[in-house]
Amino acid sequence: MISFPNAKINLGLQILNKRQDGYHDLATVFQPVSFCDALEILPAEDKAAETTIEVSGLKWEGDTTNNLCLKAYRLLKKEFPWLPPVKMFLHKTIPMGAGLGGGSSNGAFTLKMLNELFNLRLDRQQLITYALSLGSDCPFFIVNKPCMAYGRGELLEEITLNLSGYRVVIVYPGIFVSTADAFSGITPRPPQKALKEIISRPVETWKDDLKNDFESTIFRAFPELENIKNELYRQGAVYASLSGSGSTVFGLFLENAGCRFAFPEQYLVKWLSAGIGNSDEKITPGT
């Protein structure tokens, strides 16, 4: 079985308060986009073999034993001890630590694939519960439609968000941004306007009110990222923002917009569909 775990972008991100457990309550909108990895899962020929994963594509930083695909398998193995070993092949194109949710998507898609491959009969809510054990962003990729997200990002409310008249460009300069450092510079505060109210307005009005609270801290540390955002606006973006707490900056452009970017050669720049997840449209690898 093969699937294509997709990325997400954050439309606005408000840090509301710091909780007693050390986490922060936030409000954001998760929007799936057509930038995908490729994941294949096959039953192992030897029933006594270990479950393994091979990773290709972008260089994998760290120990693959901590890969969320393997963690997802082990999570289900505890519940279903009869689950046979599998071989997983993951081809990475979504950069790690970029604010695009690539790792979370891999883990969530593994849960969905194993559920289907071995007929585990888990419903969506059960899959969401398992996904939350993997990470705060993982439940979103079970739903994989535009969602308001609250709490740590795990409390989801599907919304109607029609971006079919737009395309999104993502720009990833290869900068690593520590999530801990990003949060360390944040002073939580109640927002002047509720995110749900802002996102319900026309896209053309988002520029002034739809903010990512991480930008003030991250842009001070990495002015290059602010320069990318400003360039997207100069090129005609209707809206531009940092995604999550990573180092990807994205812009929404009208479908017929003509742009010529002059970003450095080492930057990853991709045009993607922004209409994903609004109906029964399938998510396929972006070009």
199 neighbors 159 (Cβ within 8 angstroms): yes
- Contact predicate 94/100, CB 8 Å: yes
Structure tokens at 73: 């398998």
8 is an active site residue: yes
- Structural domain including 217 reads 166-273
> Helix 68-79 to helix 102-117 angle, to the nearest 10 degrees?
40
pLDDT on residue 282: 37
Residue 280, in any domain of the structure: no
Question: Last residue of some domain: 158, 177, 193?
Answer: 158
Same domain, 97 and 200: no
Helix crossing, 124-134 with 68-79: angle to 10°? Answer: 130
Q: Which residues contact 249 (CB under 8 A, 6 or more apart)?
A: 170, 171, 225, 228, 229, 232, 240, 241, 242, 243
Q: Please give the pLDDT value at position 72.
A: 98
78 and 42 belong to one structural domain = yes
Mean pLDDT of the chain: 89
11 in Cβ contact with 29 (< 8 Å): yes
Q: Kindly name the residue from 8, 145, 211, 270 that is annotated as catalytic.
A: 8
Residue 144, pLDDT score:
95
42 located within any domain: yes
Q: What is the pLDDT of residues 206-220, one digit of tens each?
A: 999 999 999 988 999
Cα–Cα distance measured from residue 223 to residue 97, given in angstroms and rounded to the nearest whole number: 18
| Catalytic residue (one of 37, 92, 112, 137) | 137
pLDDT per position in the chain (287 positions), as tens? 999 999 999 999 999 877 777 677 889 999 999 999 999 999 998 888 899 999 999 876 666 777 999 999 999 999 999 999 999 999 999 998 899 999 999 999 999 999 999 999 999 999 999 999 999 899 999 999 999 999 888 899 999 998 888 999 999 999 988 777 777 777 777 888 899 999 999 999 999 999 999 998 899 999 999 999 999 999 999 999 999 988 999 999 998 877 888 899 999 999 987 655 443 333 333 33
The answer to whether residues 121 and 195 belong to one domain is no
Active site residue 123: no
Rounded-to-integer distance, Cα 273 and Cα 276, Å: 7
Of the residues 129, 158, 187, the one at which a domain ends: 158
Q: 30, 100 in Cβ contact below 8 A?
A: no
* Closest by CA position to 199, among listed 29, 3, 21: 29
Helix (H) or strand (E) holding 158: strand 155-158
Tell me if residue 199 falls in helix, strand or coil: helix
Distance in Å from the first CA to the final CA of the chain: 22
CATH number of residue 188's parent domain: 3.30.70.890
pTM above 0.85, yes or no: yes
Number of other CB atoms surrounding residue 123 within 10 Å: 8
Pair 21, 67 in one domain: yes
pLDDT of residue 280: 34
Residues 26 and 133 reside in one and the same domain: yes
Q: Which of 109, 135, 158 is the last residue of a domain?
A: 158
Number of compact structural domains in the chain: 2
How distant is the alpha carbon of residue 153 from its chain centre?
11
Place of tokens 């509720």: 194
